[in-house]
Each structure stands twice: as C-alpha cells, then as structure tokens.
Amino acid sequence: MSNTSVVTETKLDEINIVANTDVQTFVDLRSDTVTHPTRAMREAMLTCAVGDDVMGDDPTVNELECATAELLNKEAALFVPSGTMSNLIAVMVHCQTRGSEVILGDQSHISLYEQGGISTIGGVHPRTVKNAEDGTLPLEEIERLIRTENVHFPVTRLVCLENTHNACGGRVLSMEYVEKVAALCRKHNLALHMDGARIWNAAQVLKLPVAKLVEAVDTVSVCLSKGLGAPVGSLLVGPKAFIAAARRIRKVLGGGMRQAGVLAACGLVALRDMRERVTEDHIRARRIADALAVHKSVKLNPDTVDSNIVFFELDPAHTTLTASSLVSKLNEGHKVLIMALGPMRCRIVTHYMIDDAKVDTAIRALLETLDAHAK
C-alpha cells in the first residue's frame, strides 16, 4: 500500500513538473480558464468512485451536485460540461416555448460569447439592455423592455444577470441590486437567472456567503473551471422540478456524461480548497492595475478593478502600440500572455497559478514595452 502511494507521488510530480514546463516559462494572464488541475484534484481523480451518470449511478457526481445545491441553498443542481451549456439549458427551461423573450445585458457572456445559442438552438429571442459600466442593467430599462400582451410581440419570460461581470471588467453586483431586480421580476411574473460563472469571486469581494448572493434569484449557473482551477465543469442550480427538466435538455444537447466522477472529484476539491484563496487573485489584479494606471499610454481606473479581471485601453495619442501588437510583443519578448479584446483594448486575468513573482515579471514586461513605444 505504501509502495503504491510512493509510485503515485512520483507520477504526479512528473505530471506537474515535467509535462508542464510551459508553466514555469510563461506568465499566462489570458484567462482564469488556463489553470491546470491541482495536485489534490489529480489525486482525487485517481481515487474517486464512479458510475454511469446518465443512469444516475455516479456517486461522485451526485455528491458534487448535492454539495453545490447545499452551498447555494437551493433544492438541486446539475453537473454540465460548460458554462455555455449551463446558461443555454437555463434559458431553454425558463422560456419553454419558442417565441419567448429574455432580457439580458448587451455585454453579457450569453449575449456576446455563446454563439447566440439561445436563439439558434433554444428558439428564444434576446432583448438586450445596455450594461452600465458596473455590470448592472438599469432597473427602469429592464422594466421598459418587458412586453405587454400584444399579438405582435414575443412573450417576456426571463431576465439574466451576470456576477461577477466578465466583459465589464470583473465587476461585482451588490446583493441589494440583485434583490431589486428580483422584486421587479416577481412583480411582472418573470424568472431570474444568474450567470454566476465567477460568483465565488463576488462572494469573496462582498465577504458574504455565496448562498446570500443568490438568495433572490431562481436559478444560478456556476463554473468550476475558472478561478477555482478545476479542469472541466459547471453546475446549474435551482428548484427540483427545474433541474429535472434541465437534465432532459442536457441529454438532447449531448451533455450527458458517463463516468464523470473523475471530473466531479476535481470539482469537489475546487469547492473545498479554492474558493477562499481567490482574494489573492484580486489583490494581484489590483497590483497590476495600479502599476498600469499611472502610465500615460494606458487608460484605466484601478478603482473599477473589483476582482481578478483587469481591462485597459491603449491611448493612441500616447502610444504607437495597438492591442494586438502589444500582445505579440509581450509574448515574443517576455513570454507574458495577455488577451486583445478590441483594437486598443486588452484584458489581464489573474488566477491561482499566478504568484507574486509572476506579477512582478508581468508588470516589468508591460511597463518596458509601453515605455519603448510611447509617444
């Protein structure tokens, strides 16, 4: 027995140190999805019980679903391969019939980055509200867009929020704001879904239990593979009957997985070990933002950096760089990876594989490159 665990240790070291030399070489700030599963996750994969989850037989998946529902204080949860599928299923179950309408932010992940699946696959019409800079949707705008009964109109059935808000720069929605939207939804008999891919980050920023943050919403989608470092997986969380309907739709979308316990095992470790530490990512993101904000080539207000995402704009009056030329110079010259998300707009995301030394490297590389191309 002790012999076996020695062999296991060696293999895990090989995985972490030999197979992933790029981790030592690169400072990868493109996204918090680039994280590799931790050693504890890999060990959990090795030892977890599994079964056919489509038949409901995988004990580890069942445990993850129960643990997540409990953590969010909702009745039930469904393990799905991705946040995109989780949001799509949520919209499809809430809206039921084709010709329904969902109100959501024009900067929301569902609106921008999910291929319009709610329309092409779900048959649901999106009605977008312009997101405020802080990730909220103005309440009066939501209310103005709710359809009245009229043969020309689709039927409004759902509002979607996002917390933290990715494209608005990781902004955190307050509990008070979410409660106000929920009250509006109740008044008009609409459902409320929260894209909480990074709800863990929001909970740490607000210093509140995650369950509090989602108390007022009907359903939530959470990701294990962003800041929490699991390799795969999201959970859709909500009432029992909703999750039963969601399970059927997951199957038709091809998301029924078999011995998914090996993935769920990582998810359980992610929930246990990785939630509290995201505060470190927030501190490091703020350090990067503070360092960049004082450079004249950069437009950035560090006070808008709530969590682990930093967006900045290059000022063409003060630099010859574009977002894409900055990205390639950082990559080729410094092995620092960031993402261009617009002609002059870049994004940096911190995560558990970025330590203080990597932040120092990134700041040095950024300032050096900006200095070299300032005008």
Ligand X SMILES: *Cc1c(COP(=O)(O)O)cnc(C)c1O
Candidate ranges 67-75, 81-89, 199-207, 279-287; the one touching ligand X (CB under 6 A): 81-89
Is residue 219 near ligand X by the rule CB under 6 A?
no
Which parts of 57-76 interact with ligand X (CB under 6 A)? Answer: none
Q: Does 223 bind ligand X (CB under 6 A)?
A: yes
Which is nearer to ligand X, 220 or 314 (by Cβ)? Answer: 220
Interaction of residue 84 with ligand X, rule CB under 6 A: yes
Q: Does 193 bind ligand X (CB under 6 A)?
A: no
d(Cα 128, Cα 123) in Å, to the nearest integer? 16
- Cβ contacts of 101 within 8 Å, gap of 6 or more: 95, 124, 125, 126, 127, 147, 153, 154, 155, 156, 157, 158
Closest CA to 105 of 70, 141, 73, 81: 141
In angstroms, what is the minimal distance from the CB of 148 to ligand X?
30
Say how many residues make up the chain. 375
Q: Which stretch binds ligand X (CB under 6 A): 55-63, 80-88, 140-148, 329-337?
A: 80-88
Contact pick of 78, 197, 265, 353 for ligand X (by CB under 6 A):
197
Give the footprint of ligand X on residues 90-109 (CB under 6 A): 109
Looking at 8, 16, 82, 259, which residue binds ligand X (CB under 6 A)? 82
The answer to whether 83 contacts ligand X (rule: CB under 6 A) is yes
Q: Which of 106, 193, 110 lies closest to 145 in space, CA to CA? A: 106
Closer residue to ligand X (CB): 82 or 119:
82
Site size toward ligand X (CB under 6 A) is 12
User: Smallest gap, in angstroms, from Cβ of residue 218 to ligand X?
Assistant: 17
The region of 78-86, 242-250, 259-267, 318-326 touching ligand X under the rule CB under 6 A is 78-86
Q: CB under 6 A: which stretch of 34-42, 77-85, 120-128, 292-300 binds ligand X?
A: 77-85
In the complex with ligand X, which residue's Cβ is closer, 44 or 223? Answer: 223
Task: Tell me the closest approach of the beta carbon of residue 113 to ligand X, in angstroms.
Answer: 7
Residues that bind ligand X (CB under 6 A): 82-84, 87, 109, 162, 166, 195, 197, 223, 225, 234
